[in-house]
A and B are shown apart, each in its own frame.
Chain A
Amino acid sequence: MSVSRTLFHVMRADFFERSRRYSFLITLGLTIFAAYLSLPPSSADYLMMGLDHYRGIYNSAWIGAAVAVICSSLLSLPAFYLVKNAIERDERTGVGQIIATTPLTKPLYTLGKTFSNFVFLVVMVGVIALAAGAMQLIRAEVLHIDLWALLSPFIFSVLPAMAVIAAVAVLFETIPWLRGTFGNVVYFVLWMVLIISLAMNISMRVPLFDLWGVQVIMSSMMKDTAAVFPDYEMDSFAISMATLQEPLQTFTWNGVHWTVKIIFNRILWLGVALGISLLAALLFRLFDPALQKPNLSRDRETLEAMPSESTQPAPKTAPIVLTPLPSTHRSFYPMRVLLAELRLLFKGIGWWWFFILAGLIVAGILLPVEKARQYLLPIAWVLPLGLWSALGIGEKRHNTDQLIYSAPHPLSRQFPMVWLAGVIASIIAGVGVAANMILAGDWLHLMAWATGALFIPSLALALGVWSGSNKLFEVVYMLWWYAGPINHVESLDFMGTGANFQVNRVFIYGLLIMLLLALAVLGRKKQLKR
C-alpha cells in the first residue's frame, strides 16, 4: 500500500469516528454561533474584531479577514483540546494494539494522526468560512461576494496554524507526562504566551511570532485605518468582545495583498507541523501495554514479590465457603462511601504532588494573609485540577458505570459523595490560606474562599457529567481562573483574590453552585437510564 493511501485510510477512519459523534455537531453549532457573534450589526454597541471604534465595512475582504483572525487566534485553544485524543482513543479501544502488529511505521502513524487532526480542523474552519459568507449576506452592507477575498485569509492564515495545532496535539499525546491534565495546562500556558506575544508584536511582522498569520492581516488593517482616519492610534486593536466607547466608523478595506514572500512564510509553518509530527514519531512508544500500566513503580515491590499468573501453582479446588450475609448488614454508610470516593480520587497521584501540596499549605499559613490570598490561593487551586476534572467521568472512563448504576440508590448515595470528595480536595489544597485568614480574622475573604471551595467541584461535576470528558472543565476552569482570580475581573473572581470582594458575590455564586449541582444531578439521572 502506498504511503499516501495509508495516510488517507488512517485519516479516513479517524475522521469518521470523530464526525459521527454528537459532540462534533455541537462543536459545529457553537462554531457557527461564534462566527455570528463575531460580526455584530452596525447598531450593536460592541465589536469583536475592531481597531478602536473603527472597522471595515462588511465586504468579503473584511469579513474573511476578521473571522479568520478570530478563528486563528481564539479557535486555536479549543481546537487543540478537540483533537488531542486520536492516539488515546486507539489505546482505549484496543485498536492501537492491532495497529502495532501491522507494517505501519511510527512516522506514518503519527503523520496519519496529524493529518486526521488537520482534516477535522479544516472541516471546522470550512464551516466557519461558509458561515462568514452567509454573515456577509445577512449583514448586507455589501452584497457582492468576492470568493478569493473571503477565503484567502482562511487558506493562508488559519490553515497553517491548524496544521501546527494538529501536530502539537499528536506530540503531546506521545509524551507520557503531557498526555493528561498537566499537558492540558501546559498548552493553555503556551497559548497565553502566544496571545501576549502577538499583542506585543502585532505590527512587527516577525514570522517567528506569527503562528496564527494574524500580524500580516492586522498590520494591513491598521495601516489602511490610519490612512483614512488620522486620529487612529496605531497598534490599537481588539480581538475580543470590546464595548464601543465612541460611535462606530467604517471604511472600505480591500484586503491583504498576498505576496509570494508572505505565502512562503505561511507555508513554512506546514513544514514546522511536519517536523513536529516526525518528532512525535521519535518519542512514540507504540502501544506496548507494559508501558501503560498505571503507577507500577509504586507497586514494584509487590509486583516483584508476586509470581506472574502463568507461574502460579495450580489453584487448589478448595470447598466454596461463603458466609451468608443477612440483609440487616446492608444499609447506607455515608462515611464509608465518602472514604471510598476519596481513595479513588487520590489513588495514583505521585509523591511529588503531595510534596508540593504540603509546601503550598505551609506557605499559605506563613505568608502575609493578603499575599497568600492574592498569589498563593490561585496557585493552590490549580494543583488539584486533575482531581476535579475526574469528577463525574470516572464511571464512563473506566467502564464501571453498569456496576455502579446497578447498586442501590446511585443518585442519592454515591453521587453526592463524589462531589463531596471534590470539595475535600479543594479544602485540602486551600487549607493553609484558609487557616491564615482565620488567624487574621479576615472573615469576608474566608467566605469567598468557602464559595470557591464549593464552586470548583460543582463546576467540574456538572461539566464532567454532561461532556463525559475532563477537557471541557479544564479549559473552562483555566479561562475562568485566568480572567477572575488572576486578572481580577470582579464578576469572575470566585476565590475573592481581589481587594474589592463583596458579600453579594457569595450569594450569586451560591445560586450558581445550586444551578450547577442541579445540572449535574439531571445529567447523572439521564446516564442512569440509557
Chain B
Amino acid sequence: MELIIKGVSKKYRRDFWGLRDFSLELGTGVLGLLGPNGAGKSTLMRILATITDATEGTVTWNGVDIARKPNELRQALGYLPQDFGVYPNLNAREFLEYMAAIKGLDGKSAKRRIDELLQLVNLMEAAKRPLGSYSGGMRQRVGIAQALLNDPQLLIVDEPTAGLDPEERVRFRSLIAELSGEHIVILSTHIVSDVEAAATSIAIIHKGHLVIYAWPEQILQSVEGKVWEWCISSQEQPAIREKFLVTSTARRSDGVHVRAISETQPNPDANPVQGTLEDAYLYYVQSAREAVP
C-alpha cells in the first residue's frame, strides 16, 4: 500500500499557484499535514481525493496514476472534506445507507458497518433524527462516519475535529491512532495537539511548498535548546514580539510569562525549556516566511 506524490503543482489563475512541486512518499501510518491558512493543504487533499486534477506532476496509488484511473483509488478512499453538507431530510442512518450504496457496499456489510460507526461516533440515539436538526459537531461526526464506511485503506480527513467537543476529539484521536497500523491516514488540521497525538509523520506546508517532512521527534529536535521562557512587563511585549518569535504568552501576577524561540539566550532571566510541536511548527513557518515572503 503506497501513495506517491511526485512534483505535484496546481495553478488556479494565471500567476497563482495553490501548490508548487510537492513530493511525498507515503506508506501506512498517519501523516499530519500542518500549515497556515491558504498554505495549500486543502488543494493537496482535493487532488489526492480525485476531486481536482493537478496542473503538473503525478500521484500514484499502488503504482496506478490516479489522474488516469481515479476509480482505482476511489475504491479504497475515505474522504472527509473541510466543508461539506448533508441531506437535511434524511436521518443519519439513511444518509449513511445512501453513501454506502454510492460506495458500492453490499446490504449486509453496510448495515453492520453503519451500526458500528453510529456507535463509534456516538450518534446511535440520534440516528433517527433528520440531519437538518443536527448541531455542527453532530454533522461533523456523520461526516467522519461516512468517511470510514468502506473501511478505506486511504483515509483523507481535512480539519476533522472542527466543531467537536473535547471528549469527541479524544475519541477521534484514538480512532486515528488505531487505524495507523494498516491504513494510510492523511490528517490536515490547524490543531497541532491533534497531530501530536496521532501522527506518525508530519509535513509542514507553506505557500504551496513542502517545508519539511519528518518524524515528529525529528521536528522536535530542530527546536531543542532554542525555546526560552522568562517574565516581562506588559509594556515590553511589543518590543519582544518584534525581536523574537513568540510562541505563547501568559499573564501572571508577577508579569507576562513569555515563551519564545531564539538561537541564543534572549534575556539574562530567560530559562531554556522543552520545545513542543507547536513551537517547532511556528519555527518552521517563520523560517519559511523569511525564505519565501
Nearest opposing residue in chain B for A403, CB measure: B84
Interface string of A341-380 (1 = CB under 8 A from B): 0011001100000000000000000000000000000000
Count how many chain B residues have C-beta atoms less than 8 Å from C-beta atoms of the other chain: 64
Nearest opposing residue in chain B for A529, CB measure: B53
What's the nearest-Cβ distance from chain A to residue B74, in Å? 4
Q: Is the CB of A330 within 8 A of B75?
A: yes
> Within 8 Å of chain B (Cβ to Cβ): is A231?
no
Complex Cα–Cα for A323 and B98 (A): 20
Nearest opposing residue in chain A for B138, CB measure: A309
Partner pick for B117 among A294, A302, A322, CB 8 A cutoff: A322
Q: Is the CB of B175 within 8 A of A302?
A: no
The A-B contact count (CB < 8 A) is: 156
> Within 8 Å of chain A (Cβ to Cβ): is B129?
yes
Given contact pairs A306-B126, A321-B116, A344 touches B87 in the complex (Cβ within 8 A): yes
Q: Is the CB of B167 within 8 A of A315?
A: yes
Q: Is the CB of A398 within 8 A of B87?
A: yes
> Within 8 Å of chain B (Cβ to Cβ): is A332?
yes
What's the nearest-Cβ distance from chain A to residue B49, in Å? 5
What's the nearest-Cβ distance from chain A to residue B75, in Å? 5
Q: Is the CB of B104 within 8 A of A399?
A: no
Q: Is the CB of A293 within 8 A of B132?
A: yes
Chain B residues with Cβ under 8 A from A294's Cβ?
A: 88-89, 130, 132
What's the nearest-Cβ distance from chain B to residue A369, in Å? 37
> Within 8 Å of chain A (Cβ to Cβ): is B171?
yes
> Within 8 Å of chain B (Cβ to Cβ): is A320?
yes
Chain A residues with Cβ under 8 A from B50's Cβ?
A: 405-406
What's the nearest-Cβ distance from chain A to residue B108, in Å? 8
Chain B residues with Cβ under 8 A from A330's Cβ?
A: 75, 103-106, 150
> Within 8 Å of chain A (Cβ to Cβ): is B280?
no
Given contact pairs A344-B90, A398-B88, A324 touches B151 in the complex (Cβ within 8 A): yes
Chain B residues with Cβ under 8 A from A314's Cβ?
A: 167
Interface segment out of the listed A114-122, A245-253, A407-415, A436-444: A407-415
> Within 8 Å of chain A (Cβ to Cβ): is B61?
no
Complex Cα–Cα for A402 and B148 (A): 15
Q: Is the CB of A329 within 8 A of B106?
A: yes
Nearest opposing residue in chain A for B121, CB measure: A315
Interface string of B38-80 (1 = CB under 8 A from A): 0000000010011111000000000000000001001111010
Chain A residues with Cβ under 8 A from B167's Cβ?
A: 314-315, 317
Q: Is the CB of A402 within 8 A of B151?
A: no
Nearest opposing residue in chain B for A296, CB measure: B133
> Within 8 Å of chain A (Cβ to Cβ): is B119?
yes
> Within 8 Å of chain A (Cβ to Cβ): is B135?
yes
Complex Cα–Cα for A295 and B130 (A): 8
Q: Is the CB of B101 within 8 A of A336?
A: yes
> Within 8 Å of chain B (Cβ to Cβ): is A333?
yes
Chain A residues with Cβ under 8 A from B15's Cβ?
A: none
Chain A residues with Cβ under 8 A from B174's Cβ?
A: 320
Q: Is the CB of B113 within 8 A of A403?
A: no
Q: Is the CB of B51 within 8 A of A405?
A: yes
Chain A residues with Cβ under 8 A from B83's Cβ?
A: 399
Q: Is the CB of A398 within 8 A of B85?
A: yes
> Within 8 Å of chain A (Cβ to Cβ): is B97?
yes
What's the nearest-Cβ distance from chain B to residue A466, in Å? 20
Chain B CB within 10 Å — which of A314, A339, A348, A402 has the most?
A402
> Within 8 Å of chain B (Cβ to Cβ): is A404?
yes
Chain A residues with Cβ under 8 A from B97's Cβ?
A: 340
Given contact pairs A320-B120, A325-B105, A347 touches B94 in the complex (Cβ within 8 A): yes
Complex Cα–Cα for A528 and B266 (A): 53
Interface string of A257-288 (1 = CB under 8 A from B): 00000000000000000000000000000000
Chain B residues with Cβ under 8 A from A307's Cβ?
A: 125
List 14 additional contacts besides A322-B120, A403-B146; criterion CB under 8 Å: A296-B133, A299-B128, A303-B129, A306-B129, A317-B167, A320-B171, A322-B116, A322-B151, A333-B101, A333-B106, A344-B90, A399-B84, A403-B81, A405-B50
Instruction: Give A contacts to B, CB under 8 Å.
Output: 292-296, 299, 302-303, 306-307, 309, 312, 314-315, 317-318, 320-325, 327, 329-333, 336-337, 339-340, 343-344, 347-348, 394, 398-400, 402-410, 413-414, 529-530
The 6 closest A-B pairs by CB, nearest first: A399-B85, A348-B89, A325-B151, A340-B101, A294-B132, A336-B101
Instruction: Give B contacts to A, CB under 8 Å.
Output: 46, 49-53, 71, 74-77, 79, 81, 83-91, 94, 97-107, 109, 112-113, 116-117, 119-120, 122, 125-126, 128-130, 132-133, 135, 137-138, 143, 146, 148, 150-151, 167-168, 170-171, 174-175, 178
Some 14 contacts from A to B, beta carbons below 8 A apart, are A296-B132, A302-B128, A303-B129, A306-B125, A309-B126, A322-B113, A323-B112, A336-B101, A340-B98, A400-B84, A400-B87, A407-B74, A408-B75, A410-B102
